[in-house]
Amino acid sequence: GQQVMQIPQYQHVQEGEDFTTYCNSSTTLSNIQWYKQRPGGHPVFLIQLVKSGEVKKQKRLTFQFGEAKKNSSLHITATQTTDVGTYFCAGSGGSNYKLTFGKGTLLTVNP
């Protein structure tokens, strides 16, 4: 079945440093989504990428979808303490709409 792998599992940065998390799928995806989960909270949707090679930006966050639609990345420029949380990628492929999540990257930021 479809597997979505995400690295790193943990990342600790100093405030102001950049952060990147990577996502790889075992199969070609129809789309990839990114979510953020604050400690003790529930996942909250950040963005969806659909097109091959797509790049989207949200303020300090940059999302990329690979040309083969099997990998993606989230890059945060100049992290802030408000960026703390777990970032998940989630992919779906095929016609069954099943959404498979990666294991997430826990980001901690030292002020």
Partner 1 sequence: NAGVTQTPKFQVLKTGQSMTLQCAQDMNHEYMSWYRQDPGMGLRLIHYSVGAGITDQGEVPNGYNVSRSTTEDFPLRLLSAAPSQTSVYFCASSYTGWVSNTEAFFGQGTRLTVV
**Position 110, amino acid:** N
Q: Is residue 65 involved in binding partner 1 (CB under 8 A)?
A: no
Question: Given the rule CB under 8 A, which of 11-19, 53-61, 72-80, 93-101 is the region that contacts partner 1?
Answer: 93-101
Q: How far is CA 78 from each of CA 20, 47, 55, 63, rounded to the nearest angstrom?
A: 11, 19, 19, 15
| Separation between Cα atoms, residue 26 and residue 2, nearest integer Å | 6
Question: Given the rule CB under 8 A, which of 13-21, 35-43, 56-64, 65-73 is the region that contacts partner 1?
Answer: 35-43
| Separation between Cα atoms, residue 92 and residue 2, nearest integer Å | 8
Identified binder of partner 1 from the candidate list 28, 31, 62, 77, rule CB under 8 A: 31
Query: Phi/psi at 44 (nearest 5 deg)?
Result: -125, 130
Q: Is residue 45 involved in binding partner 1 (CB under 8 A)?
A: yes
Q: Is residue 30 involved in binding partner 1 (CB under 8 A)?
A: yes
Identified binder of partner 1 from the candidate list 11, 23, 25, 35, rule CB under 8 A: 35
